[in-house]
Amino acid sequence: MPTILSELSGIEARNERYMSLHVLTKLFIPFSIALSILFASDLYSALTLVFVALALIVAAGIPLSSIKRYVVVIGSLTSFIAISLFLFARIPGKVLFEACLVRFEAEKGVFEWKLYITDNAVMYASVFVSRIFAMVLSAMLLLGTITDREIVWGLRSLGLPFGASIAVSLFFRGIRLFVSDFLSIREAMTARGVDFARESLIKKFALYSHALIPLLALMITRSYEVSLALETRGITPQSKAKVVYHRYGFSRLDAALMLLFSVLTSLYALGWMI
């Protein structure tokens, strides 16, 4: 059964033991890491979370090579954080590097814009970057281990009406449908003489914008077809499922993992309060 990450980017979690955990456990683990990030205020606690998340990703059998997809995100966030802290803030501490970029006499004093790097600013940036690593890994763990079918079953077993579970299911199916629709529209535009490779960025932006009108018109047609098919089955968005065909077992391992990660988050919260 493909996971959400596999639907979006083709990355599969391979460990069957982890994948057979109860959906609540698989939701709870990344959620508890995400909550712990809130309390990770120093470098060591943030790095511990990074290692915990990394260990879980390995345990779930998500290929570590998939982190490559997040390299741009982590790189741009890191550089932005460094720029923000070194160029737009003056964090006190032992000065490691200082360079004046702009200096002039303003009405109420001398205006100075400096590149100002202190040991505390570097430490502060490191905490942010480590938290980002933990954040990215927790998101990867969540999407890499939950399948869209589990979400749909989860919603049904919670007793929510068909409207909610079918909307979720259609959302995931819709992503692939509209990527293929968009490619068809793009091909149709190319067939009429548009050369996307040669156009400037602004022209490309305008061309892609034009593609949205047929895309939305197709969406309306498709919505009609799907909703008519649903109507003919005699169910309404408000109807609720009387029968659930699949039940998840909640094992001892599930209970142990939920307890373990509750303790982890509580420890982080305690450490933060003290």
Partner 1 sequence: MSRERKVSWIHVVTFAFATAISYVLGVVSSLIFPVLGAPGVSALYVAAAIYVPLGVWMGMWGALAGYVSCFFLGLYPSGYSVIQSAVWSWADFIEALVPAVLFRLAVKDPDFAVRRPKAAKLMPLLVSLGTALLLVGIVVQVLWGAAYGEPFTTIYVYSVYAGLALSVAGILTGLLVGDAKTWGVYVVSVILASVFSGLWGAGTLTIVNFPPPLPKEAFWPVLVGWVIGDLIVLSTIGTALVVALTELFKRTGLYVEGWWA
Site for partner 1 in 64-123 (CB under 8 A): 69-70, 73-74, 76-77, 79-81, 83-85, 88-89, 106-109, 111
Residues 208-267 that bind partner 1 (CB under 8 A): 208-210, 212-213, 215-217, 219-220, 222-224, 226-227, 230-231, 236-238
Q: How far is the CB of 247 from partner 1 (least distance, A)?
A: 25
Inter-residue contact 110 to 74 (CB < 8 Å): no
**Which long-range CB contacts under 8 A does 107-114 form with residues at least 24 apart?**
113/87, 114/90
Nearer to partner 1, 190 or 239 (CB): 239
Q: Which of residues 18-57 bind partner 1 (CB under 8 A)?
A: 30-31, 33-35, 37-38
User: What is the SS3 assignment for 142?
Assistant: helix
153 is a contact residue toward partner 1 (CB under 8 A): no
Give the nearer residue to partner 1 in terms of CB position, either 175 or 189: 175
**Residue ranges of E strands in the chain:** 95-106, 109-118
Q: Other C-beta atoms within 10 Å of 228: how many?
A: 9
Kindly determine how many residues on this chain lie close enough to bind partner 1 according to the rule CB under 8 A.
78
Residues between 126 and 145 with contacts to partner 1, criterion CB under 8 A: 128, 131-132, 134-136, 138-140, 142-143
Q: Is residue 113 helix, strand or coil? A: strand
Nearer Cβ to partner 1, position 109 or 193? 109
Minimal distance, residue 221 CB to partner 1, in Å: 9
- For the bound state, the minimum distance from the C-beta of residue 243 to partner 1, rounded and expressed in Å, comes to 21
266-270, long-range: CB < 8 A, 24+ apart = 268/35, 268/36, 268/38, 268/39, 268/40, 268/45, 268/49, 269/39
Kindly report the number of other CB atoms within 10 A of residue 118's CB atom: 20
Q: Looking at residues 166 to 185 of the shown chain, list those that interact with partner 1 (rule: CB under 8 A).
A: 166-175, 177-179, 182
Q: How far is the CB of 268 from partner 1 (least distance, A)?
A: 12
- Minimum CB distance to partner 1, residue 99 (Å): 18
Residue 84 or 251 with smaller CB distance to partner 1:
84
* Cα–Cα distance for residue pair 274/266, rounded to 1 Å: 12
Which amino acid, one-letter code, is at 8? L
Rounded Cα gap, residues 142 and 26, in angstroms: 7
